[in-house]
Amino acid sequence: MNTEWALKELDKFIDQTVMRYPDPVPGIVDMTGRKITSARDEDITKQAHVVEQILDRVLPSWRDLDANVKANRWMRHRTAALRAKEALIREAEVKENLGENAPELSAAELHPWVWSGAKSLWQSGHYREAVEGAIKKLNAETQNKVGRRDVSETDLFKQAFSFDEPKAGKARLRRMKDDGSDTYKSVQRGAMNLAEGVFAGIRNPLSHEADQELSEQEALEYLAALSVLARWADAATVERVEGKS
């Protein structure tokens, strides 16, 4: 939106709808006390065509505003125009102080494996260590689920979500029933690829660069990625060789 143009059009309408007493007519005394708009109704009607479109963009519910339309039919428009002008002028200030009207991600609502591994360190402001703790917890819980200690991290997830049939001591995780479809292959491959990305792109750099600190926002984004992988692993069905634990 061209804010400068919109403000100019709103100002014009606001000026047109200022209520004033009619100019005195020589020899006639107006006893009604009635007020009129500063501009002719015809001119206001023309300007309203543009102003209504601005209001629809800035204040979509402006037609529901309370206004004394009995005093003048343009009062609702005028009230909305005043509000819209202030909204446009102070838009940057409001965003700076209240933030964007966007969804917020709560660390406490992430998958329990991830948040339980990160919680204590996160609350003390150790964001890098909190992410590392979440990764360790995710790895341990996945090991528990498939009953393995001989592999971990990337190899663990790669083997767990493998397309291969389960073998003795090598259980598989299936995100959906193996029906041979492209969807089945896609979700299995997606879990393997995400795990590889998590450990290669998040875990390895953090462990190799111990002095690397993370901002709260960056750490939260890392936890979100871990949470997705945790949910997939937790919700997956374990497939083992029949008769084997």
Residue type, position 159, single letter: Q
- What is the pTM (predicted TM-score) of this model? 0.62
172-225 pLDDT per residue, tens:
999 999 999 999 999 999 999 999 999 999 999 998 876 778 999 999 999 999
| DSSP state, residue 77 | H
**What residue spans of 17-152 are helical by DSSP H?**
41-58, 75-89, 91-98, 112-123, 127-146
21-70 pLDDT per residue, tens:
887 777 666 666 688 899 999 999 999 999 999 999 999 889 988 888 78
**80, 65 in Cβ contact below 8 A?**
yes
Give domain limits for the chain.
Answer: 3-98, 107-239
